[in-house]
Structure 1
Amino acid sequence: MRAEVIAVLPHDKSAFTQGLELSGNVLYEGTGLEGQSSMRAVDPSTAQVEKKINLSPELFGEGVTVAGSKIWQITWKNQVAIQRDKATLAEIKRVPYTGEGWGLCLDGQRLVMSDGSDKLTFRDPETFDPVGEVRVHDGETPVTQINELECTANGVYANIWQTDEVVRIDPASGQVNARINLAGLLTPEERSGADVLNGIAAVPGTDEFLVTGKLWPKMFRVKFVTAQ
């Protein structure tokens, strides 16, 4: 499959995007790097940051997801998840976990978390306790480097780190049932100042997505279609 571009939108090119989720008309974006990590509420049409909370300098922010009136934000190697108030982004509590944190989404009932391996861990959306896991594979081959996640009714979409590929995963079996090539969204000149593709947010009520990357100057509204 490939990405058909519906619209090109601005994006803060200083944002090291780690998590992206659209809720209503607000884009929630988590950014990374020690000393630069943040949680933001953004106007997706203008890239204007409406609210922003900086993480303490030792924390390296990773994936984020909305869970009701709360937001969860995970960290890379700090082994702590932060629960925030959705309206204010203020921290409510911190919960420890074991291992690395990469991507995070909510499938309606459970949080789904990646750690860069072939494993997805399911977690309780209030306590963050693990409640199960699945190994991701394409046939007999494990699929690793699973990064930013987006849960939809059709499965879990995941960025594969250091590639221009997004895969769709059946969370029940772990089987990859679609691969989407997103190469070519940025021009060679734009790519020179940018990092990897990372960030995928479903547009509610449509079959479209917002996608961007770390330090990308643009965000794209896309539809995933069969490659010609």
Structure 2
Amino acid sequence: MNFIKFFSSSFILLFFLACGGEKAPASLFEIELDGGGNKFQQNQTVGISIKNKKNKTIDDVTYTLEGEELNVENGKIVLDATTLGDKTINATVKYEDQSVEVSKAIKVLAGKAPEIYTYTIINEFPHDNKAYTQGLEFYKDTLYESTGKKGRSSLRKVNWETGEPYQIVELEDTYFGEGITVLNDKIYMLTWRSGTGFTYDLGLKRLDSFKYGQSKEGWGLTNDGKKLFKSDGTEKIWFLNPQTLVEEGSIETVTNKSINDSANELEFVNGKIYANVYQKPSVMIIDANSGAIEGVINFSGLSSKVTHHSTWSDTDNVLNGIAYHPTRKTFFVTGKEWDKMFEVTIEKK
């Protein structure tokens, strides 16, 4: 018994000696940034240094951000991240014939505050007040609309002047319909929490289904003519390959103060993503490359122009649905179970 105790104690001692011969990188070095915080703006110049906790002899330090080496001049770096949001600065520290890596999590915010926009109503059109609008998009002068709620979800072609549907296909009752987009004569449609999307031809015949990747929910959908953009109720907007429906990247939606997680229905126009703000009477204008929220359109007051039915809820029957008409160069906006759709122009306030 004593031999067993001795053997066990010796084994544990040898184990800790073997594993503890080298200190963990974080116990040796730490990245320090001026101000001590973790929020910085894009292209901000920041002082950077390595805290040498054990007074090791440092031979060289290399910093990287998004896989690109950062140039250090007079102890300062420029945070020239191409995309915004949660980032990691990595440092490779060479010391005493050894090399370790340490990292620091930061948030890279937009360089300036969003500009405020307002709207002018050009026309008012009827809209189906039973349509719980989740997606809205023009394609070759035809308005396509998707609606939500289980048992009521549908995909439609709509006469935008009369509000009457040309054609409706219903989703199975298990699905809660979400955003749509049309690319190369194919309609892509999301569902909310089923982890499943569908594709249709222009005759609304279902072609196939697809599964989500890291984006667990389906919210809004749009495209830039080459790839799809998908919101999922988080700070991310995902890039999807339209052939494989695989998520191939993402951006985060960011202002000069914080990371935003409320992008809902989407529309792509001239390099910008117009995104309904979830449960708010406003639309964000997002740079599709960086994620910077460059503008906010204030649609306050628009819901007062529609009929508030007996089951109306200010938190449910909200603005949701924005479609750009490329020929008329105007936007069409509506909401969940609204009886009107509005043609508007957008201008800075």
The TM-score normalised by the length of structure 2 is 0.63
* Residue 218 (structure 1) shift: 0.3
Q: How does 1:159-198 map to 2 (within 5 A)?
A: 159-187=276-304, 190-191=307-308, 193=312, 195-198=317-320
**Which structure would you say has the larger RCO, counting Cα contacts within 8 Å and 6 or more residues apart?**
1
Whether 1:15 and 2:15 are equivalent positions in the alignment is: no
Q: Which residue number in structure 1 is paired with residue 218 of structure 2?
A: 101
* Residue 24 (structure 1) shift: 2.3
* Structure 1 gap ranges (5+): none
C-alpha contact 1:23 1:204 (8 A) present in aligned 2: no
Whether 1:85 and 2:207 are equivalent positions in the alignment is: no
CA-to-aligned-CA distance 1:118-167 (integer Å, 9 cap, x gap): 10000011221111101110014111111000011140000001100101
| Partner SS for 2:250 | strand
| Partner SS for 2:302 | coil
C-alpha contact 2:319 2:335 (8 A) present in aligned 1: yes
In terms of Rg, which structure is larger? 2
Whether 1:115 and 2:232 are equivalent positions in the alignment is: yes
Q: Which residue number in structure 2 is paired with residue 205 of structure 1?
A: 327
C-alpha contact 1:208 1:221 (8 A) present in aligned 2: yes
Whether 1:67 and 2:183 are equivalent positions in the alignment is: yes
Q: Which residue number in structure 2 is paired with residue 220 of structure 1?
A: 342
CA-to-aligned-CA distance 1:37-88 (integer Å, 9 cap, x gap): 00000010001110110000000100000011100000000111100001x1
| Partner SS for 1:126 | coil
| Partner SS for 2:307 | helix
- Alignment-mate amino acid for residue 209 of structure 2: R
CA distance in 2, matches of 1:94, 1:187: 39
CA distance in 2, matches of 1:132, 1:189: 39
The TM-score normalised by the length of structure 1 is 0.96
C-alpha contact 1:24 1:204 (8 A) present in aligned 2: no
Say if 1:141 and 1:42 are closer, same or farther in 2 by CA, change over 3 A.
Answer: same
CA distance in 2, matches of 1:211, 1:149: 12
| Partner SS for 1:187 | helix
* Residue 191 (structure 1) shift: 4.0
Bigger proportion of residues as helix: 2
C-alpha contact 1:25 1:43 (8 A) present in aligned 2: no
Q: Identity across aligned pairs (percent)? A: 38
* Structure 2 gap ranges (5+): 1-116
